[in-house]
Amino acid sequence: MSSFSIAGAIFVLVITSVLGNVNAQLSSTFYSTTCPNVTSIVRGVVEQAQQNDIRIGAKLIRVHFHDCFVNGCDGSIMLDNADGIDSEKDAAIASQILVSENGGPTWEVQLGRRDSRTANRAGTTAIPGFNESLDQLSQKFRDAGLDSTDLVALSGAHTFGRARCSTFVHRLYNFSGTGNPDPTIEAGYLETLRQTCPQNGNGDTLNDLDQSTRDAFDNNYFTNLQNNRGLLQTDQVLFSTSGDTVAIVNRFANSQSDFFDSFGQSMINMGNIGVLTGTNGEIRTNCRRVN
Count CB neighbours of 257 within 10 A: 10
> How far is it, in rounded angstroms, from Cα 106 to Cα 261?
9
| pLDDT, mean of residues 191-212 | 93
- Residue 125 pLDDT > 50: yes
Residues for the chain: how many in total? 291
- Residue 240 pLDDT > 90: yes
- The verdict on whether residue 277 carries a ligand-binding annotation is no
- The verdict on whether residue 181 carries a ligand-binding annotation is no
- The verdict on whether residue 275 carries a ligand-binding annotation is no
Count CB neighbours of 247 within 10 A: 12
Angle, CA of 50, 55 and 59, to the nearest 5°: 105
Catalytic residues: 66
Categorise residue 84: left if φ over 0, alpha if ψ from -120 to 50, beta otherwise: left
- The verdict on whether residue 244 carries a ligand-binding annotation is no
What pLDDT, in 10s, does the model give residues 58-108? 666 666 666 665 555 555 555 444 444 343 344 374 444 445 555 555 545
> How far is it, in rounded angstroms, from Cα 79 to Cα 87?
6
- Residue 24 pLDDT > 90: no
Query: Mind listing the domains of the chain with CATH numbers?
Result: 24-161+209-271 (1.10.420.10)
- The verdict on whether residue 16 carries a ligand-binding annotation is no
> How far is it, in rounded angstroms, from Cα 108 to Cα 87?
30
- The verdict on whether residue 208 carries a ligand-binding annotation is no
